[in-house]
Amino acid sequence: MVVLGIESSCDETAAAVLVDGELRSNVIAGQDVHQQWGGVVPELASRAHQEAIVPVVDAALKQAGVAREQVDVVAFTKGPGLIGALLVGTCFARSYAQALGVPMVAVDHLQAHVLAHFIRDGSGRPAPEFPFLNLTVSGGHTLLVRVDGPLDMTVLGGTRDDAAGEAFDKGAKMMGLPYPGGPLIDRLADQGDPHAFELPRPRVAGLDMSFSGLKTAFHDLLRRLERERKGLVEERSKDLAASLRHAIVDILVDRTREALRSGGFRGLAISGGVSANRLLRERIRVLGAQEALPVFIPPPAYCTDNAAMVAMAGHFLHAAGRHAGLDTVPVPRHG
């Protein structure tokens, strides 16, 4: 059973191959064109996907030692994401599946982030048992999800405004750092004092979160420092990064702790780009230990956008017989 997975929802063109549920290749082409613009430019992303998709899929098949004719099912990300970017992957998958005469499956990107925990790559990493709680934190989404089965997920809460990754990226941008700023903030923060500056942790009802108040407070703080003395923001960049990271992670961990109270979970897991964050990983491990729950954190390569997780989702959807028609269109928004 050979599954070809294709991911093109944002600014990464990726393809992966699973053979009998085992990952055989995981190829990813990033897009440098966005860096100079301080964020992803949708039209540039679509064009870069168009250029990359054929070579990326070829490389994935080649690395897996699989011929095109051996592919049994084509899995692709149908959304959420940028419409133009999704269209490239969707159209490619449709033609590919039609040419090969094989079925295809349409994958929800957020479900795929959760299924990253089930990628088998020979490392012997254990998979979580059901039900588990998953905090999905990426550049576009922040969700607390109850996972009762590979395709049985319930959203318990999420952000009302910015995503956690967006909060990192926007904070970094305000400090004059290049896109994506999350990893840079993480690195700077390691050398700074997380208590140097006081920042708010706004609370909203239920298990929802909000990051816009924090963003505004951070913006005001930077302006105050810059008014005090030119160059002060740069001088204090490590302490600023540490304080921002501390606040974002506090908000995430606080809500995760509360979500665990809804009870009955057999594991605690995080996924999505922001789960590469060192402080978040550490704090989630501590929370798991406090609650006597095993913790699951994918290796960084499966946290950020990749096609291995899409192929994994494809594996489960195909097994459940949930195939997509050739008339499938991308769905840019989550709903």
Q: Which residues pair with 161 in a beta bridge?
A: none
- At residue 170's C-alpha, the angle toward residues 166 and 171, to 5°, is 115
**C-alpha 65: how far from chain center:** 28
Q: Which one of 221, 274, 295, 317 is in contact with ligand KG4 (CB under 6 A)?
A: 274
By the rule CB under 6 A, 182 interacts with ligand KG4: yes
By the rule CB under 5 A, 275 interacts with Zn ion: no
Least CB distance to ligand KG4 at residue 158 (A)? 14
* Cβ nearer to Zn ion, comparing 45 with 222: 45
162 binds, among ligand KG4, Zn ion, none (CB under 5 to 8 A by kind): none
For tokens 């999420």, the residue is 158
8: nearest Cα among 71, 111, 67, 92: 92
Residues 6+ apart with CB under 8 A from 123: 299
* Cβ nearer to ligand KG4, comparing 104 with 143: 143
The answer to whether 119 and 309 have CB atoms below 8 angstroms apart is yes
103: nearest Cα among 335, 248, 281, 315: 315
Site residue total, ligand KG4 (CB under 6 A) = 19
DSSP structure string for 176-223: TPPSS-HHHHHHHHTTS-TTSS-------STT-B--HHHHHHHHHHHH
**Residue nearest to ligand KG4 as judged by C-beta position:** 273
Least CB distance to ligand KG4 at residue 29 (A)? 14
- C-alpha 200/C-alpha 27 separation (Å) is 40
Least CB distance to Zn ion at residue 268 (A)? 20
Least CB distance to ligand KG4 at residue 309 (A)? 10
By the rule CB under 6 A, 7 interacts with ligand KG4: no
Of the chain, the end-to-end C-alpha distance in Å amounts to: 31
By the rule CB under 6 A, 140 interacts with ligand KG4: yes
By the rule CB under 5 A, 305 interacts with Zn ion: yes
Least CB distance to ligand KG4 at residue 82 (A)? 10
Q: Which one of 158, 183, 192, 330 is in contact with ligand KG4 (CB under 6 A)?
A: 183
Site for ligand KG4 in 8-67 (CB under 6 A): 10
Site residues for Zn ion per CB under 5 A = 138, 305
Site residues for ligand KG4 per CB under 6 A = 10, 138-140, 165, 168-169, 180-183, 186, 272-274, 276-277, 304-305
